[in-house]
């Protein structure tokens, strides 16, 4: 828990975010811990923590230290001081989850919707947000995170996204969602959102640098560097579904599908994707050791072995996670089939954890990660490393949209005058 603060008065907003983020990340911290971690003066830390306590964002507990003297006081984030809504937009339906400031689920809502139609989807998202807000009564809403495929941008020379999403490139998604929901909105790639979920409440807790490979209707990767997502120059880092594979790792002859995807698996098994997503269908096929499924797992393990070596040699992560729409037994089997792994800079004698791990949150990860986006935007000093400009034509004054922690005591209320659709 170390980050540099500044004692200059103009850095007050940064320092409030810094203190909040350090306490949230650590779980609890004393004022002395914060002084040591930030380099800020003790009086500065005292002033910041007093303000955050008065605003209800932090709570204070005491814990005895030894047998004598006053108990040590620790600060922790007041989890129900706010909530945010994570929406995963995908072909299988709209998965909406409300989380508190620590990522614990408060409520959820799932519904079908016409995903190729952006306007109909915006309306469905607004309805889901209203339903979640009704279940989170008396908890301030910090915003909405949207996780979805994000290769619809019109700037590409040709369309490179998944089939059916073409019309989304004509819509400023974040602005449309804000207008419908009445709350600040962040749009993020679904694989990156899933990586954020694993970082905060999943298998990557405590890590700072890792790669998360997400298998769904397509293939993507979330890249986390220094505890925040790596976006790339144009917010497209991690689009590994566009990789070209050698001939022996291509989909079976005659199959025009994305390699390493549900669509490919459905074709190989001989059913449609909807049938494949039926409850326990994949578990049953795995228990029966279905031949087509076993072939697909072998094929994907060979691909994953290559992806792992590329990721390790390019990014030097602490570990690589794999998950997505696969149930836990299949995900674990895929990991096992990758061994022995290819040589890379990660093949060291001493490691804290394996080079390749199955992620923990599975299909819920994108929605949970999306719900964490507004919390990071309001409460991290490095919030501008998020994809705040994605889906926007107006990118001015982003800090004013996400000011719950950095602003003055009155800032959240004044901010709600603009974003008041569901509170």
**pLDDT tens-digit profile of 219-242?**
999 999 999 999 998 888 999 988
Cα dihedral 261, 262, 267, 268 sign = positive
pLDDT tens digits, 112-134: 888 889 999 999 999 999 999 99
Nearest CA-CA partner of 174 in 15, 402, 349? 402
pLDDT at site 193 = 97
pLDDT at site 68 = 66
What is the overall mean pLDDT for the chain? 89
pLDDT tens digits, 185-199: 999 999 999 999 999
Which residues, at least 6 apart from 361, have a Cβ–Cβ distance to it below 8 Å?
Answer: 194, 197, 198, 201, 202, 203, 323, 368
Measured distance CA(380)–CA(404) in Å, rounded = 11
Among 97-101, 174-178, 306-310, 349-353, name the one with the lowest average pLDDT. 349-353
Q: How many helices (H) and strands (E) does the chain have?
A: 14, 12
Phi (first) and psi of residue 391, to 5 degrees: 75, 25
In terms of average pLDDT, the best of 253-257, 335-339, 361-365 is 335-339
Helix (H, G, I), strand (E, B) or coil at 109: strand
User: How deeply is 62 buried, as exposed, middle or buried, from its count of CB atoms within 10 A (0-12, 13-18, 19+)?
Assistant: exposed
What architecture is the 206-360 domain classified under in CATH?
A: 2-Layer Sandwich (3.30)
DSSP H or E stretch at residue 308? helix 291-315
pLDDT tens digits, 170-185: 889 999 999 999 999 9
pLDDT at site 185 = 96
pLDDT tens digits, 382-420: 999 999 989 998 877 788 889 999 985 443 443 444 544
pLDDT at site 421 = 47
| Angle CA 158–163–167, to nearest 5 | 70
Nearest CA-CA partner of 241 in 361, 150, 146? 150
131-138 LR contacts (CB < 8 Å, sep 24+):
131/96, 132/85, 132/96, 132/97, 132/98, 132/106, 132/107, 132/108, 133/85, 133/98, 133/422, 133/423, 135/98, 135/106, 135/107, 136/83, 136/98, 136/106, 136/107
pLDDT at site 414 = 38
pLDDT at site 163 = 75
DSSP H or E stretch at residue 359? none
Measured distance CA(238)–CA(149) in Å, rounded = 12
297 with 332: CB under 8 angstroms? no
Domains 9-77 and 206-360 share a fold: no
How far, in whole angstroms, is CA 7 from its chain's centroid?
32
Nearest CA-CA partner of 130 in 121, 141, 119, 120? 141
Cα dihedral 231, 233, 236, 238 sign = negative
Question: Could you tell me what percent of the chain has a pLDDT over 70?
Answer: 90
Does the structure show a pLDDT above 60 at 422? Answer: no
Does the structure show a pLDDT above 90 at 82? Answer: yes
- Give the end-to-end CA distance of the chain in Å, rounded to a whole number: 35
pLDDT at site 153 = 65
Please give the average per-residue pLDDT across 7-12, as a whole number.
Answer: 62
pLDDT at site 85 = 98
Instruction: Return the CATH fold of 9-77.
Output: Arc Repressor Mutant, subunit A (1.10.10)
pLDDT at site 423 = 45
Q: How confident is the model at residue 167 (pLDDT cuts 50, 70, 90)?
A: confident
Please give the average per-residue pLDDT across 341-359, as a whole number.
Answer: 95
Q: How confident is the model at residue 284 (pLDDT cuts 50, 70, 90)?
A: very high
Q: How confident is the model at residue 18 (pLDDT cuts 50, 70, 90)?
A: very high
pLDDT tens digits, 26-75: 999 999 999 999 999 999 999 999 999 999 999 999 876 665 667 889 99
pLDDT tens digits, 50-61: 999 999 999 999
Domain ranges in the chain are: 9-77, 82-194+365-416, 206-360
Which residues, at least 6 apart from 42, have a Cβ–Cβ distance to it below 8 Å?
Answer: 31, 35
What is the homologous superfamily of the domain 82-194+365-416 according to CATH?
ATPase, nucleotide binding domain (3.30.420.40)
What region does 131 belong to: left with phi over 0, alpha with psi -120 to 50, or beta?
alpha
393 with 153: CB under 8 angstroms? no
115 with 92: CB under 8 angstroms? no
pLDDT tens digits, 289-339: 999 999 999 999 999 999 999 999 999 999 999 998 889 999 999 999 999
Measured distance CA(278)–CA(280) in Å, rounded = 6
In terms of average pLDDT, the best of 5-9, 91-95, 406-410 is 91-95
């Amino acid at each position: 828990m170390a980050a540099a603060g500044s004692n200059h008065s103009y850095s007050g907003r940064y320092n409030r975010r810094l203190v909040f983020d350090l306490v949230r990340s650590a779980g609890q911290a004393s004022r002395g811990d914060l002084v040591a971690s930030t380099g800020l003066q003790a009086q500065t830390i005292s002033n910041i923590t007093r303000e955050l306590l008065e605003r209800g964002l932090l709570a204070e507990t005491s814990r005895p230290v030894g047998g004598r003297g006053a108990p040590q006081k620790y600060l922790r984030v007041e989890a129900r001081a706010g909530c945010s809504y994570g929406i995963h937009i995908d072909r299988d339906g709209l998965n909406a989850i409300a989380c508190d400031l620590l990522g614990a689920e408060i409520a959820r809502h799932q519904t079908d919707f016409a995903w190729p139609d952006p306007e109909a989807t915006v309306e469905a998202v607004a309805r889901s947000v209203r339903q979640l807000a009704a279940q989170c009564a008396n908890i301030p809403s910090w915003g909405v995170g949207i996780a979805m495929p994000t290769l619809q941008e019109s700037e590409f020379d040709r369309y490179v996204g998944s089939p059916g999403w073409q019309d989304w490139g004509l819509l400023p998604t974040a602005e449309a969602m804000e207008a419908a929901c009445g709350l600040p909105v962040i749009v993020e790639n679904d694989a990156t959102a899933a990586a954020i979920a694993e970082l905060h409440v999943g298998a990557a807790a405590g890590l700072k640098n890792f790669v998360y490979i997400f298998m769904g209707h397509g293939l993507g990767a979330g890249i986390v560097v220094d505890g925040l997502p790596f976006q790339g120059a144009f917010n497209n880092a991690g689009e590994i579904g566009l990789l070209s594979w050698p001939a022996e790792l291509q989909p079976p002859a005659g199959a025009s599908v994305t390699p390493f995807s549900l669509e490919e698996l459905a074709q190989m098994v001989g059913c449609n994707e909807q049938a494949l997503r039926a409850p326990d269908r994949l578990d049953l096929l795995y228990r029966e050791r279905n031949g087509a499924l076993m072939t697909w797992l072998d094929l994907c393990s060979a691909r994953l072995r290559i992806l792992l070596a590329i990721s390790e040699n390019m990014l030097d992560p602490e570990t690589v996670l794999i998950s997505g729409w696969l149930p836990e037994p299949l995900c674990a089997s895929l990991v096992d089939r990758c061994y022995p792994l290819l040589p890379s800079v990660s093949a060291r004698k001493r490691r804290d954890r394996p080079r390749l791990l199955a992620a923990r949150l599975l299909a819920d990860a994108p929605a949970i990660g999306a719900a964490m986006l507004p919390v990071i935007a309001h409460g991290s000093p490095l919030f501008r490393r998020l994809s705040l400009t994605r889906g926007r034509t107006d990118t001015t004054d982003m800090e004013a949209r996400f000011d719950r922690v950095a602003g003055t005591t009155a800032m959240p209320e004044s901010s709600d005058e603009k974003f008041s659709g569901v509170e």
